[in-house]
Chain A
Amino acid sequence: MKIAIVGGGPGGYVAAIRAAQLGAEVTLIEKENLGGTCLNKGCIPTKVLLHTSERIEEIKNDYDKIGIEVCEAKLDWAKLQERKEKIVKNLTGGVGSLLRKNKVTRITGEGEFKNKNQLRVKTEHGTSVTVDFDYAVIASGSRPVVPPLPGTDLPGVITSDEALCLGEVPRSMVIIGGGVIGAEFAAAYSALGCRITIVEMLPKIVANMDQDIVKSLKEKFIKKGIEIHTSTKVESISRTSAGLLINTSSVEGKRFFEAEKVLLSIGRRPATDGLGLENTGVKTERGSIAVERNMRTNVSNIYAIGDCIGGIMLAHVASAEGIAAVESIMGKKTAIDFKTVPYCVYTKPELAGVGLTEEQAKSEGYDVKIGVFPMYGNGKAVIECETEGLVKYIADNDTGEILGMHMAGPRATDLIVEGALAIRLEATIDEIISTIHAHPTISEALQEAARAVHDNPIHI
């Protein structure tokens, strides 16, 4: 069985390794570095920036409280950039050796389908290689969307790609789009001393998550001096002596903002051009490759996974889809339980959610019962000076089934796995309550939130 995988991101390389484990002869085609957006321009490098920015904030705000006197804490931007590069290189190198270990053939170059069983790869040396395959998995990823606005081509108008490797921390930045990416860059650059303004067209920021936890973040942002303008539309970007002028409008009228940089973070779109899909007959719908439940496209031996199929553009979803696709190719029956996809925002407080939000659960017709526990009631959170946030369990009033778990607070992105597992196993709120949670830990707040569903939390 010969499987060709187009794209070496968290969807493609995971699919490659899984396919090799199952005995396939795998060729992975990637035009740039392994690891895709996630490792090179997304999850990993942003978290490197966020890590440093959080530490700096801590030193400034919390260290005197906890008994550490700091004479001078200064950001070394160049060193941070260097560290970021090193970590990325380290991790992509790791992916490379994993592929070698699993005997996956790697070709560096741009893959283009010649037909349903062949890919032509233009390699970095300018030569062309033909790859024959029985099955192909397209994992070509996505790109940031540049909105059709006047002025987006001006210098200083950037996307997340460039925001990761600026020469210095800008004095001010307007972030267009208050979703997950916008929020994370706002948190990172604000802590490093940049004045941030978020302009969001929707009535709320981070609109896909439960608004009770988003509220914790919003309050923290405002406290840090980040300006948030929701229900506000950007009309155009132009130049001024100070940098860039952002022309917006809302029901309250026109409003102008000035900033050194403008970050466009309104979303990402599938990257499917240049793949030669027209030579295979693979169908796309508004730029996304259309797939069935098992990730197969309309062409029976071609599968597609990850960002290029649209839907939920998350690395861990791409990986799960990659595994499902190759397992399906290799004759296993695998189904993805999308109910258990966790959503994470690596701000401070961290946000994480899994399952239905309160709003979604209600609109699906559930008689919901909510349990909320605030972080300030948790001993460990108090010790760590991180009392912002809360844990929220959403249960079905009839059966006690856990429909969703949402959290703002320390290590929320790690702790969300409790909710994901509970949903996967169809646990009821009573199983969370009867599971002993260690003391003293942040996780106690989860148990208390579960108790709060029955209106009997202990520590509040």
Chain B
Amino acid sequence: MAEFIVMPKMGLTMTEGTISNWRKQEGDTIKKGEIIFDVETDKLTNEFDSKADGVLRKILVKSGTVPVLAPVAIVGDKDEDISTLLNQAAASTEAENASEKQIQEAQIGQLKTPIAEKGGRVKVTPRAKKVAKELGVDISSVPGTGSEGSVTEQDVRNYAKKNESEKKKTSPVASITAERLGVDINKIEKSSRIMKKDVVKYKLSEELEKYANPQEFRKPMSTMRKVISQRMLESKRVSPTVTYNIKVDTSAVKQIREDIKEETKVSYNDILIKIVSEVLLEYPLLNSSVDDNEIIIRNYVNMGFAVALNEGLIVPVVKYANVKGLNEISAKAKELAEKARSNGLTPDDLNGGTFTISNVGMYGVESFTPIINQPQVAILGVNAINEEAVVVNGEIKIKPMMGLSLTADHRVIDGAVAAEFLSKLKKYIEKPGLLLL
């Protein structure tokens, strides 16, 4: 006995669901418990398994959102007459679409969308069916204007006439050339007469496409990618940002690395974590978070630093960097980076960051606009160090200059504060001895 498959109600609050993918096609045999389509709600994606055995006779909703308990398909025996169910479904989708359709009609000014596409079925008068056959018209693409959107004889005639007038004007040589080259002349887009050169041009572009063999693949996002994607989007939505760029002379930092080389090897990044942590204590707004109408100010710095992985990006946190020595910072950063690459980070290694440093200098980038790692309010982008000619006391000197790109959330950090922070940072990087004070 044929029956409807309806949109399942998968939770108390669920009012509608979206069909994202049919696992079965019309005509497929389905068994009880077999997954036949995927349903998405605003919260999750579920698989729908069949409650009946039979043949999937008709898919009423190929994709899209419908209310719960709305019919989405008909299941029944192979040769069973399902016309009653089809009529019922058409009537219900008709009613469903009525208001929406009116709006659409008003917008487009004419009925353009073929009804078949809407998940219903085409209602056709017998005369219309006969005329369509005579004129060789595909009835499913004829918009209907009769009662309940049914297709009338006149609709078919109008459609055929319109089609005729839109037929391409083509020069005789172009027609023959198209035939010789195996080009479908209807595919050539041109409002005026199609000439031989249009056909040749089209053929060449077809050949090019064949040669290039363009292909697209789809793959599901990894969990990490999904998280990054959502958090980046969220950050863009939440934070009104401004990015500030400054150039810093790294001669002194270079000297420090040189000086302590015998004792310990530290990276530019380690030194930056140390210096930025110090400066952040002087500018606590950059180290803050926003919670509703309150600003959370901290007396400590948990410094996040972005680590690029094959499948994405992760930001481990050096806790209380403001009280750690350079050696300690360096060791911790090394350990965290190692763990990140070997997939060994614990939630504790990732939580609690108050500021982030993102270094893309090794790729030669000179400036960029990093996105804030929420719920933080600022992020420091570190760019490449390049030897540059700099004028010092009226003389040209060559200095290793590094660009810093600070993105700050204007909800809490005004331009002056950000600029002051950057200039202080510059001062400390260029004269690290000040940190000894």
Measured CB to CB, the residues of A under 8 A from B are 398-401, 425-428, 430-431
Contacts and interface: CB of A to CB of B under 8 A. Distances in A.
A143 to B, nearest CB: 37
B117 to A, nearest CB: 37
Contacts of A428: 172-173, 176
Given A399-B176, A426-B196, 10 more contacts: A400-B172, A400-B176, A401-B176, A425-B172, A426-B171, A426-B173, A426-B195, A427-B173, A428-B173, A428-B176
Contact of A399 (B173, B193, B195): B173
Given A426-B195, A426-B196, A399 B171 contact: no
B97 to A, nearest CB: 44
For A399, A427, A430, A431, the residue with the greatest tally of chain B CB atoms inside 10 Å of its CB is: A399
Chain B, interface size category, equals: 10 to 19
A425 B176 contact: no
Contacts, number: 30
Contact of B171 (A398, A425, A430): A425
Chain B contact residues: over half helix, strand or loop, or mixed? Answer: helix
Given A401-B196, A426-B195, A431 B172 contact: yes
A399 to B, nearest CB: 4
Interface in B158-198: 171-174, 176-177, 180, 193, 195-196
Contacts of A400: 172-173, 176
For A401, A426, A431, the residue with the greatest tally of chain B CB atoms inside 10 Å of its CB is: A426
A426 B180 contact: no
A224 B378 CA distance: 100
A297 to B, nearest CB: 27
A401 B195 CA distance: 11
Contact of B174 (A398, A426, A431): A426
B180 A398 contact: yes
Nearest to A399: B176
A427 B176 CA distance: 10
Contacts of A430: 172
User: What are the 9 A-B residue pairs with the smallest beta carbon separation, nearest first?
Assistant: A426-B171, A426-B173, A401-B173, A399-B176, A428-B172, A427-B172, A426-B196, A426-B195, A431-B172
A17 B313 CA distance: 70
Contact of A427 (B171, B177, B180): B171
Contacts of B174: 426
12 contacts: A399-B173, A399-B177, A399-B180, A400-B172, A401-B173, A426-B171, A426-B173, A426-B195, A426-B196, A428-B172, A428-B173, A428-B176
A60 B97 CA distance: 90
A293 to B, nearest CB: 15
Contacts of A427: 171-173
Interface string B186-218: 000000010110000000000000000000000
A114 to B, nearest CB: 42
Nearest to A396: B173
Nearest to A425: B171
Nearest to B171: A426
Nearest to A428: B172
Nearest to B194: A426
B159 to A, nearest CB: 30
Nearest to A430: B172
A87 to B, nearest CB: 39
Contacts of B173: 399-401, 426-428
A411 B431 CA distance: 97
Contacts of A398: 180
Nearest to B172: A428
A342 B177 CA distance: 25
B198 to A, nearest CB: 10
A431 B176 CA distance: 12
Nearest to A431: B172
Contacts of B176: 399-401, 428
Nearest to B179: A399
